[in-house]
């Protein structure tokens, strides 16, 4: 059997639109998915676990990794540095799993440039008022961070043309249904499964 390379499945959105919630559901349902744990210089939130949600590092460590060319991509987002270590893709390939990324549009663009087969999904809030409400109700941001994230949202949304799929996260279950449909369809694109005719039927 030919072992397929991992599907790189990128989910982006302005802060508060619901990408973390949607990605968690995907990971809970599909055991053959791995979450790409990013490095960040941001401080952990009360609910976050180092190594599960992010690898929390200081500026010096992040800089050391940049200099050592250890990142597949990295970017400044809302005043902090965030990056995906190339080792995440290697680990997914070793485990035979597909890889889910929660990265911003700069990360999506960089990953797509290096891996054109990556699939990119942009999650939109149903309105800017609802985006503000969700960001507030999450209760994780300082007043300054709330303003910064909300102000960045419109510029981030303007980048939607970079993405393969646009998903409005209105009703959570309905939005999740659409997200999993994208994953399932992308997994059987011809170029990913062309080997099956030979592997299964010898043709």
* Interface with ligand 5GP (CB under 6 A): 12, 15, 38, 42, 73, 75, 77-78, 82-84, 102-104, 106-107
Q: Which is nearer to ligand ADP, 65 or 176 (CB)?
A: 176
Asked if 48 and 159 count as a contact pair (C-beta separation under 8 A), the reply is: no
Contact partner, 21, from ligand 5GP, ligand ADP, none, Cβ < 5-8 Å per class: ligand ADP
CB of 203 to ligand ADP, least distance (A): 45
71: partner contacted, choices ligand 5GP, ligand ADP, none (Cβ within 5-8 A by kind): none
Contact segment (CB under 6 A) with ligand ADP among 8-16, 41-49, 62-70, 151-159 equals: 8-16
86 binds, among ligand ADP, ligand 5GP, none (CB under 5 to 8 A by kind): none
Nearest to 20 by CA among 139, 99, 130, 103: 103
Binding mask 12-41 for ligand ADP (x = CB under 6 A): -x-xxxxxxx--------------------
* Subset of 163-202 contacting ligand ADP (CB under 6 A): 169, 172, 175
Nearest distance in Å: CB 12, ligand 5GP: 6
* Residues near ligand ADP, by CB under 6 A: 13, 15-21, 134, 137-138, 169, 172, 175
């Amino acid at each position: 059997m030919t072992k397929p390379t991992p599907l790189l499945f990128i989910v982006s959105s302005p802060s508060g639109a619901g990408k973390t919630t949607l990605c968690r559901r995907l990971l809970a349902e599909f055991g053959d998915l791995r979450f790409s744990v990013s490095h960040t210089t941001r401080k952990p939130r009360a609910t976050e676990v180092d190594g599960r949600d992010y690898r929390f590092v200081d500026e010096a460590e992040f800089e050391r990794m940049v200099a050592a060319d250890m990142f597949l991509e990295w970017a400044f987002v809302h005043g902090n540095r965030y990056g995906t270590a190339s080792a995440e893709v290697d680990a997914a390939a070793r485990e035979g799993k597909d890889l889910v990324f929660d990265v911003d549009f700069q990360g999506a663009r960089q990953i797509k440039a290096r891996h054109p087969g990556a699939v990119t999904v942009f999650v939109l809030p149903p309105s800017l008022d609802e985006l503000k409400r969700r960001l507030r109700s999450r209760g994780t941001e300082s007043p300054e961070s709330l303003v910064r994230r909300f102000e960045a949202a419109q510029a981030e949304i303007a980048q939607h043309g970079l993405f393969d799929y646009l998903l409005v996260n209105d009703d959570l279950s309905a939005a999740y249904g659409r997200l999993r449909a994208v994953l399932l369809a992308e997994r059987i694109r011809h170029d990913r499964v062309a080997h099956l005719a030979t592997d299964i039927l010898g043709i």
